[in-house]
Amino acid sequence: MTEEKQSATITIINPQGLHMRPAYLFAEMASRFSSRIEVVKDDMRIDGKSVLSILTLGATQGSQVAVEATGPDAEAAVAELVQLVTSGFPDESGKTEAEASHF
């Protein structure tokens, strides 16, 4: 039996890139899935469930990253993580960081 594999390439839209808060939100969501989650940027491949690993990517606004998942819930994992990134990592009120920084 082979494991399901899914991947998607996305552009970081956050004005500050993948800094601590978005990295935490990404890792927190990735940890909800049993699949192995990896994020690839340039020649770096890191564990998508590790906040510190995500921070080492240095993914600034406009960076392209690939989200790859391998396991039983890979399709759902990639779909939800892509949605999180492309929505701008909204907070509990639904505002993105870009919206929250405009008083």
Q: Catalytic positions, please?
A: 19
Q: At what angle do helices 74-86 and 20-30 cross, to 10 degrees?
A: 160
CA distance 37 to 23: 13
CA-nearest of 71, 65, 70, 77 to 27 is: 77
